[in-house]
Structures are given as C-alpha cells and as structure tokens.
Amino acid sequence: MRRVLLAVSGSVAAVKLPELAAGIAGLPEMWKQRSDPVLHIDLRRWADLMVIAPLDANTLGKIATGICDNLLTCIVRAWDLKKPLLFCPAMNTVMWEHPITATQVQTLKSFGYIEVPCIVKTLVCGDKGYGAMAEISTIVEKVKECLEQSP
C-alpha cells in the first residue's frame, strides 16, 4: 500500500481539503486505515509522498529559509529527498507576483520538490489573477503520476 501525507497550510484554499482528500483517497490502495498523530520523523518515514496543498506565502517562506516551527515545516525539514514532495501554492495575486515568491518557489524546486502551479481565478478577496490553488483534479493526477513513477 502506498502512503500519501497530505499537509495543509493557512490559506483560504484549505476549504478544498475535503475534496482533495476524497480525490486522493479514491486512488487505488489509498488510506484504508487511520492512525493517531505521530511526530514529524515518524510521519516522514511513514509517507511515500507528501503533498502540501495549499501552500500559503507564510509557509512557503518558512520552508524556503529552513524555518521549522510547526509540525508541517518540521516534516518538510526532515523530508527524505529521495521521496516526492509536491507543493501547491495558493495566495493573493499581489503576494504571488512579489519578487520574493519566485525566489522561494525556485528554492523549493532546487531541493527537488515538485510544483503544481497556481492558476488564474477570481480569489476570495475579489482580486482576479494568479494565486489560486491548482484544480483538485490536477493535483490528484500529479499525485497519481508521482506514485506510479516512484519505487
């Protein structure tokens, strides 16, 4: 059985978590049981793949600079770089377009992490532009692709 660790940061796009979890759970041989929460090392050992969806600007900045002050960032800092880690940015368009964001995304990609790019949409705040998390179907398809490619 393959294991996916689905991580969520503080973006408004987190409301899509149930739909994303259901989509990933619908893949063959996924999530047949649940367990109690464990420490960051146990979680990174347990998972074959990690998905951070949504990845907000705050958590992106923390990961890019090595800050690990919560469970999510500690798992990422301890992540086995031989295993896939997918990240799905989600933030306001102005935040997305800030020059530091491109640098931080590139830093994560330099670690070997895989970006599932954000999309153009009307955001919850009313702004329209890049920054919306990728569609659930896109994320699920990328998870499936990575699971099929990894040993």
Which positions are catalytic?
A: 125
With beta carbons less than 8 A apart as the criterion, state whether 19 and 136 touch.
yes
* Cα-based distances in Å from 15 to 30, 53, 97, 118, 133: 21, 10, 23, 16, 11
